[in-house]
Structure 1
Amino acid sequence: MLRIPELAMPRTRKVTTVYNSKKEVWNDREKAQDFFLRQMMTAEGEERDRAECIYIQLVHGLDKCED
């Protein structure tokens, strides 16, 4: 469970993701959400679960999202 309520977190546009041990810095949160939503829709199994985990963290406003 998160210590800070999601609504209280700042909604910055810059976000860092770690997906399949690959770190990537996004300058636009919406582009990152779009990418991981597409990954969720096209992948299967464990790969889909990882993308879903990051997508949920992005939606909740976290600045660093990891699978």
Structure 2
Amino acid sequence: MLKTPELAMSRTNEVTTVCNGKKEVWDDYEEAKAYFLELMMSTDGEEHDRAECVYIQLMHGLDECSDDD
């Protein structure tokens, strides 16, 4: 039987992110996670919060991640 994290993980390696109105399609899930982690660690305030929101969704394995609440 599948465990919960396996169910949440994307079946493809492609992910779409929307952060601060900018939409990007990534071919590599790990590259997207690394980018948003770096962005989150190097910014503060609202930009940090936006990057953190997308990063958390990426960590949960979503195919589409957005900074909208």
TM-score, structure 2 as length reference: 0.84
Q: Percent identity?
A: 58
What is the alpha-carbon distance in structure 1 between the residues aligned to residue 40 and residue 51 of structure 2?
A: 5
Aligned AA (1:34): A
Conservation of the 8 A alpha-carbon contact between 2:9 and 2:61: yes
Normalising by structure 1, we get a TM-score of 0.86
Long gaps (5+) in structure 2 = none
1:9 counterpart letter in structure 2: A
Let me know the Cα RMSD of the aligned residues. Answer: 1.5
Within 5 Å, give how 1:1-67 maps onto structure 2: 7=5, 8-11=7-10, 12-67=12-67
Cα deviation, 1:21-51, whole Å, max 9, x if unaligned, reads: 0110000000000000000110010100000
Letter paired with 2:8: M
1:10 Cα deviation after fit: 3.6
Q: Does the CA-based 8 Å contact 2:9-2:60 persist in structure 1?
A: no
